[in-house]
Structures are given as C-alpha cells and as structure tokens.
Structure 1
Amino acid sequence: MHKTIVKVGIVGLGRLGRQHAENLAFRIPFCELAAVCSIDSEAVEQVKKEWNVPYAYTDYDEMLANKELDAIFIATPSGFHCEQIEKALHAGFHVFSEKPLGLYLEEAIRVQKAVNRNKEKVFMLGFMRRYDHSYAYAKKKIEEGKIGEPVLIRCYGLDPAKAMDGFMKFAKKNYSGGLFLDMAVHDLDLARWFLNAEARQVWAIGGNYAYTEFEELNDAETGAALVKFENNKMGIFVASRNCAHGYHIETEIIGTKGSLRIGTVPEKNRVTVFDESGAVNECSDGFLERFEQAYLSEAEEFISCILENRQPEVTVEDGVLSTCLGYACKEAFETGELKTVQYPVTAPAFGSLMRGESTIYDAD
C-alpha cells in the first residue's frame, strides 16, 4: 500500500470503543479517524463535532458504503463481531475486531474462511495483552529458555465489583457470551501463546454467590476451569466479576527451571499511600487503565501492517482456537461434565491439532 495516511472508520463507541477512537484520532501516526458509527446517535454527534470527524453514522452498512475509508475498526458487543467482520471484508476493507472472534464455533469458522478468502486485506483480532510490555517481556524470557519448558499456567481475571451494574445491563441484552468467552478468553489466548500448545480437555465449575441474577443468564459470577493441553501441560483459570479491591489480572507461568509472575499485586502505579489505613498500594480501576498502553500498541500495529502490507502475528486462527477453548469451558460449566475441545479441520494451521485425543468435526 502506497498511501501515507490510513483512513479508519470505527463502529462502537462504548467504554472501549471510545478509547480506541481516541487512540485512532489523536495518538497514532499516519492514521485518520475519518468516520464513527454507533446506534447511540448522541455519542456519534458528540464525537463528530468535538473531534472534527468527517463522517458520522448510526447505520453500519451506510459506513461501509463510504469508499474514502481504508479500514474498519470493530468495537461493538461480542455478538455483533462475526457479521460485521464479514461485511467489512466483503466491502473491501482492512479489519480490526475486538475479541472474541465469535460466541459460537460455527460463526467463528465462517469468519476464518472469509478472512482467508481476503488474504490481501489485513485482519487483526484484539488480543491486546500480547502487546502489553510486561506480557511481551515474559514471552521473550520464555523463548530465551529462562524458565525452561513451560508446563503450567495460572491465570486470574477479576473484574471490579463496582462495575457490576453496568455489566448486568450489557449481559441482559445477551451481548456477553458468558464468563469464559467474554472475560477468560484473554487468558485462554495467553495460555496458548505462553505454553505453545493447544487445549485438549476442559473441566469447569462456577457459581453465583453475591449476585444471584446471573442464574437467569445461565452464567457464573465467579468460575474456574482446569485445562489439559498438549504434552500434558496444564492451565488453571479463575474468572470473576466480583473483585472488591479493583481490577486484578494476574498470570503465572511455571516451567521446568523456574517461573514467571505478571501482575501479582495489581498496583495502579508505584506510589504507596501512608494514612490511617496503613501503607496502601492502590489498585487499577479497570481494564482501560491497566492496559492503556497495550490498546494503543495493538492499534499502532494494525495501522503499521496496513502501511507495510504485512499481516499481524495475531491471526484469525488464534481467534478460532481461543473460541473453541472458551466454548468448551462454557459447555463444561453448564453441564458439569469433562469436555473434549472440538477443533475444525478446514485450515492448514490446524493440522497439528488433529491427532491424539481431540474430538474433530469437519466445518465444511
């Protein structure tokens, strides 16, 4: 691509969408936020006016008809991702989509096919933790052999309890996909990345202890999954929407010669407050604060890939495989049974998974 400026249209102006929009508009070189789209007409008009965005839409299809745009950035609720990705690719755009790729295996596989039919276009999925400096450093240390062969990963993903009211409004619209697909999918992707292995079997449990409203959604307020990966590697995943002290994201990777921990204390910064409560290290309030740098870095990578005519390291296959694992966790929780992870056989990238104990089905 010989253009020096990438013109981007974003769909979705919620909490995360607004952050992405600000990054695209003000913080990324060679990028112009040229269009915004949301069903919230007031938010659309506000952004258009205050940021001088040329185009504003409340209809996604109308934005896709704008041929001045080069790329579409999708930051809508999870249930809309697959259809919007397919439409944007069909209309000839480069596409960035927030996680997860899809809420169901069938639609995730359909998107994978659409991406592979449009290989000349850049497609990137928003697994932003891979672009966080701490997680990237841990990956580098693993590749250098610092902890030997990684054999176990333990992940905590705990959302602040004070965000519960806002989340319930979101979940009751059936936008979430459940605890494991909506929240734990980041950790499931990290596990695949750090262990360099795919999941085979899953057992998951959970419950609703302070917020019984989740019973109506067939979901869990707090849940845990135990995953067996290839070569008997192990994963322990804990996710909760009820964390009293704030936003707590913690990861531990145990290897044959050592271990790594990321985010053991979810500190807001390096300041310690001394007062009547004692010595206090304040915690991050939420994902936008904790991963501010990562969200910016992943968007910068997307724009760079377009300008340099290359594909990002995070692929559509990463999205499909993480969806497979997340969906297996969801099924294991709902049934109380041990589940074998099902994988498609349509893509060459999945060839190494098609041996051993995995149940396989042909997505065609």
Structure 2
Amino acid sequence: MLCKNHLLGGHAAAGNVAHYIAHDIRKPFSKLRFFIQELKDLKNLTEIKQAIHGFEPTFIVSMEYIEHILNEVMDAAVTKLNITKSVPVESVLIMAFKNLGALPENTKINIEYNLSDHLLLSIDVLRVVLIIVNIISNALEAMNYKGNLWIFSKEISFEDNTFMEICIGNNNSYISEENIENIFEPFYTYKKEKGTGLGLSIAQKIVKLHGGKIYCISDLNKGVEFIFNLPALIGAYDKSNFQLVKNLNGKKLELSKMKNDDKINLLTEKTIIVLDDDPLVCRSWERALKSRNIITFLNPEDCIYFMNEKINYLDRIEMIISDYFFGKNVRTTFETFVEKVREKYNGIIFLSSDITLEEKFIYNQKNIIIIEKRVYTYEELKILLNMN
C-alpha cells in the first residue's frame, strides 16, 4: 500500500497531519464565508432559497468529514469496546464496503472471498468496520484502483480461545520490509492528500483490545496482506442472506455544470479560469466576476484537458484562480497541476488557499500569487497583480 511513496515519520509527519486536519476543519467555515458573501447579493426570497438548497449538501459533507476526523482522533484513545456477539463476518464486510464512499471513475477491482462457514464474531462492530475500511481504502489507493482484492477467514486457536483470522490482501502494490516495521506507528502515512496517519495505529489498538494481533506481509510478486484475528464462537447461520460485493467499479462524477466540449467553445475572449472542487465556491466567483468571461472547473483533470484542446488560444486566458486541495478522490495535486499547466501557459495563477504555505518563495518563482480563501472583485485581483 505504501510501496511507491516514502513514509513520513516523527515530528514532520505529525506536523503534516496537523496541516491537513487544520485545512479540513477550516473548510466548512470557508464555505460559510462564501455563502454569506453570496447571500448579500441576492435580491429576493426565491434566490435565497435556491442558494440555501445548493449550499446545504456541500456544507453537510464537510461537517461529516470533520466528524470522521474527530472520531478517528478519539478512537486513538479508546479503552473500552461495545461487544456484540454472534456477528456474521459477511455483515461486517457489507457495512465496510458501504462506507468506502465514492470511487474514482477508473476503478476496476475484482474481489475474491473464502470465508469460514462455522464461525460468528464477538466484536465491537463499528470499530471493526473502521479497521476494514481503512485497510481496503489504503489498498485501493496503492493499487491505483485497479487489480484484485481477496478476503479470507479461518478458525485459529489463540491462548486457548477461538478466534477468526481475517486476511485482506491486494495485488499491484508492495511494502518494503523496513516500512512494514513502522506502518502501525502513529503518524506514519502513505503520502496522500487526506488522512491523519492514525488509521493503522488505531486498527492495531482495536485488535489488541479484542485480544488479538494484527500484522502485515508483503511480497513483490504477490502484493500485500493484512492479517488480524478477532474473538469468535462456533455457530451456524444462513449465508444466503448476505450478498457480498464481487466487483468495485467507479462511476463518472458529474463535477462540472458544463461538459468539456461546451467549455471549449467559450474561449473566444479574455477569460478567467476558476478551479475549485466546491461548486459553491465556483458559483461565488462567477457572481463576483460576472462582468468577465468565466470558465469554472471542479477538478484539475478537466481543466488540463480543456487547455490541451485549446492549446492555440491559451493567450486568451487572463488568469487562473485555483484551489490547493481538489478533493479526496482526485489524485492530481496542486503541484502536479501547476507543472502540467506551466508546460503551455505562462500567465498568472492565483492560489486561493485557507492554509498557511511555508514554501511561498517556490510559488513566487513560478508566478503564483497566494491569496486568501475568499471571493475577490476583478479590481482587487488587478491590484494584487500590480503589487506583485
């Protein structure tokens, strides 16, 4: 899972985690700020209701993610479990897959099962679901969302008690031996956009609270397996009641309000491009810059595609206003986006950010101006250009 990227450790990792947590906690307040600005320009009750209808879902998603982060941090200090007896492993797996969230469009995963047919778990269901979601999510990212998963279980005896040993494995990734020694340490994390780096550390703690063990093995040819054991009892149940997921396929997300082909036809005059994964933010920029020609994108891939298709007209792009984070299922970082854009566009890029970036001198060298995470008027942007 961590094969092609190094692990972050010590104080640097903790600082990196704090950096991302701070961003995610600020995000709903940034949304609220944009929303309030938008309300000030609305003239009647119908427009206000429409704005609220558009704002509420995206605000709720941000709040739910903050709740997830806080729960994860609190789980790091958990000392007691809420045990439910006679739980079929299939029901736990079904819950886990339902909690994976949206998958990227390129996702194509086959899943193989070989599960014990005579064991029932005695576990804290929600916390075990958390373990499985964490392992599978990490695996999917490491596999680039393509390949095979396998989930096996069997009976083992451990200190004269019956346990179910569960193996969750995947191909297309590898963890080196030296990294396996550290992956259960707090703040060691795959270099990715989001996450506290506590997932596997919490998983280990929860498994130990159940009286079991968890470990990881990796083979360059086979892949990665996480193996853990949980208390169980002998028992029969009707397996036909559980329909396990056999394949994971991503769905194309309608992130932009216009198709790329429609947008390509718009670059006929001086244009400002706004890139932000939040539709509310894009809409707020459109209102603030309504006197200008605006094209908005909700993911960097669409924007890069657009610029490739309009390669001969890029001199008509007056400026690009970009977010720093593009959402958890978008694997293009801001740095990668800038690298690709700079191959064809030398104009101004505004980085609209609600985080503190220490590497400001690097962005200055690339003609990137960091601005506060709020809406600016066109006149304010021109003043900032003159100042820089």
Same fold (TM over 0.5): no
**TM-score where L is the length of structure 1:** 0.24
Which structure has the larger Rg over C-alpha atoms? Answer: 2
**TM-score where L is the length of structure 2:** 0.22
